[in-house]
Amino acid sequence: MEPKIIKGEGGYVLDDVPHFSDYLSNLPTYPNPLQNNPSYSVTKQYFVDFDDTVVQKAVQHKDGPRGIHFRRQGPRQKVYFKPDEVTACIVTCGGLCPGLNTVIRELVCGLDYMYGVKNILGIECGYKGFYARNTLPLTPKTVDSIHKRGGTILGTSRGGYVTSKIVDSIQDRGINQVYIIGGDGTQKGASVIYQEVRKRGLKVAVVGIPKTIDNDIPIIDKSFGFDTAVEEAQRAINAAHTEAESVENGIGLVKLMGRDSGFIAMFATLASRDVDCCLIPESPFYLEGQGGLYEFIGRRLRENGHMVIVIAEGAGEKVEERDPSGNKAFKDVGLWLSHMIKEHFAQTKLNITLKYIDPTYMIRAVPANASDNVYCTILAQSAIHGAMAGYTGCTVGPVNGRQCYIPFYRIIEKPNKVVITDRMWARLLSSTNQPSFMNPPKGAVVAGNKDEILLSKSSAEESNENDQKCTPSPTSSSILDNHVNDQHSLNNGSTHPMLE
């Protein structure tokens, strides 16, 4: 689908989202029922002006162009559905994330309480549920307390995506609003569903709600569940710290989620202050020699008598296999690192005790915290307002603290990653005072550098073998080149998504 770009004065660009009127003519419209709702009718500003948009980059130069904008979310005066005409469905896909049940709850309650929509179906077990399962009727009563539980009451899955079968099912069931909650893979699937719906000329709104505990979805400030995950990670870090400081030369090692993006590890480290070293996929690291991890561990133990290391699952990446959606599945980098550290210090006079904690699934399975619950409510209501107003082919999410409708293609074009040349990573390095690993000595094996394989096998013998395979040392700039990205969101000090 062609991007819908609208240009204005002073270098203003609106990266707009599709609307029914782009491909269906003469559709009837109706006054928004919220106009008669006592909660809303008193607040005239509650309705969003058609021309309201939100700038992507909050920091602007005096003479620079106004830049890219996204359409602001919110209720419109006109809607494209009568309440009793709507059959909405909700599906959750990909991995678990705190807040999934809250989004489901708020979609159901929002559709019913704001727009009088009663016909709402839950699709069970992700995309394949469209064609392989029955649907679950959802009402405000049945979802009333689900936000207090982790997981998703609908179930989820990876793989099983077949566009034609999914859209056939949408058509057969008379569904005309599809709310799709999931990560980057899910949003790619949603984009294809939207295209197929449009090709078939259906009046069906397809709206995505971005879910990713890893915070790897671009454009939006941050994803729901992320704050909860960072908070929950503190419990594991605290335990690692307690274990480490209770023994002589204690090391606590904690593995956190983050396949390609180290946001959870970075923010959990910054939040904790007990972490001495944070290792993320975006920042290759090395063990041996000057400026390496072993040297740093030795120094910290001599200075403090204990230390805590946080490592993201994708740090030092070595793909073991693929999951049913085609995502990378890693060997356990935490186990590998524990093993390497123990082996190394066994050959020195420093007698260490290392405790390894892997809390990953415990973190993912908890219910959302208070702030994420509020965020989930805003996302769900934004999605509903958009679909009712005839917008489609888009994801909702906060940009510079304001909720927007963002076209699918912008959400799926590339993942959000920590930029190690950006301020936030510098802040972390200043907070932990850990090595930057930017200047590996000649011959050092750099974990996470795509050209080298460090984590190929799990046994010490095999790892040693790899250590000896010394390839030319990458320069610090080549490490950087691999990882410089268009950073935004949590790294640019953007405002909080709650602002809306």
Ligand X SMILES: O=P(O)(O)OC[C@H]1O[C@](O)(CO)[C@@H](O)[C@@H]1O
Ligand Y SMILES: Nc1ncnc2c1ncn2[C@@H]1O[C@H](COP(=O)(O)OP(=O)(O)OP(=O)(O)O)[C@@H](O)[C@H]1O
Write down the catalytic residue from 15, 16, 112, 214: 214
Please check if 258 is assigned to a binding site: yes
Which of Mg ion, ligand Y, ligand X, none lies near 456, with the C-beta cut-off 5 to 8 A by kind? Answer: none
Which of ligand Y, Mg ion, ligand X, none lies near 93, with the C-beta cut-off 5 to 8 A by kind? Answer: ligand Y
Cβ closest to ligand X, residue 330 vs residue 375: 330
Whole-number Å distance between alpha carbons of 111 and 387 = 10
Binding range to ligand Y, per CB under 6 A, among 65-73, 112-120, 185-193, 303-311: 185-193
- Exactly one of 16, 184, 231, 260 binds ligand Y (CB under 6 A); that residue is 184
Please check if 295 is assigned to a binding site: no
Please check if 364 is assigned to a binding site: yes
Degrees to nearest 5, angle at CA 14 with 47 and 32: 20
Residues 309-338 that bind ligand Y (CB under 6 A): 325, 327
- Exactly one of 75, 95, 185, 440 binds ligand X (CB under 6 A); that residue is 95
Question: Does residue 213 touch ligand X according to CB under 6 A?
Answer: yes
What minimum distance in Å lies between the beta carbon of 208 and Mg ion?
13
Question: Does residue 232 touch ligand X according to CB under 6 A?
Answer: no
Cβ closest to ligand X, residue 415 vs residue 443: 415
Please check if 184 is assigned to a binding site: yes
| Structural tokens at position 226 | 């992320």
- Exactly one of 74, 75, 94, 218 binds ligand X (CB under 6 A); that residue is 94
Please check if 43 is assigned to a binding site: no
Which of Mg ion, ligand Y, ligand X, none lies near 126, with the C-beta cut-off 5 to 8 A by kind? Answer: ligand Y
Cβ closest to ligand X, residue 234 vs residue 436: 234
| Structural tokens at position 304 | 């403090």
Parallel/antiparallel/unpaired status of strands 306-312 and 250-256 = parallel
Residues 107-136 that bind ligand Y (CB under 6 A): 126-127
Whole-number Å distance between alpha carbons of 435 and 326 = 34
Q: Which amino acid is at 130?
A: F
Alpha helices in 122-175 (DSSP H): 129-132, 163-172
Cβ closest to Mg ion, residue 22 vs residue 323: 323
Q: Interface residues with Mg ion (CB under 5 A)?
A: 183-185
Question: Does residue 432 touch ligand Y according to CB under 6 A?
Answer: no
State the CB neighbour count (10 A cutoff) for residue 229. Answer: 29
**Site string (370-399) toward ligand Y, x via CB under 6 A:** ------------------------------
Buried-state track 22-53, b at ≥16 Cβ within 10 A, e below 16: beeeeeeeeebbbeebeebeeeeeebbeeeeb
Whole-number Å distance between alpha carbons of 374 and 383 = 14
Q: At what angle do helices 293-304 and 333-346 cross, to 10 degrees?
A: 70
Buried-state track 389-418, b at ≥16 Cβ within 10 A, e below 16: bbbbbbbbbbbbebbbbbbbbbbbeebbbb
CA distance to 93, 106, 212, 305, 465, per residue, from 182 (Å) = 5, 16, 7, 43, 41
3-state secondary structure 376-434: HHHHHHHHHHHHHCCECCEEEEEECCEEEEEEHHHHHCCCCCCCCCCHHHHHHHHHHCC
> Can you say whether the dihedral through the CA atoms of 210, 211, 217, 222 is positive or negative?
positive
Please check if 227 is assigned to a binding site: no
Active-site annotation holds for 216: no
List of residues contacting ligand X (CB under 6 A): 94-95, 183, 213-214, 257-259, 313, 323, 364
Catalytically active residues, by annotation: 214
The annotated binding site for Mg(2+) is made up of 184
The annotated binding site is made up of 95, 158-159, 183-186, 212-214, 257-259, 313, 361-364
List of residues contacting ligand Y (CB under 6 A): 93-95, 126-127, 157-161, 182-186, 188-189, 192, 212, 214, 325, 327
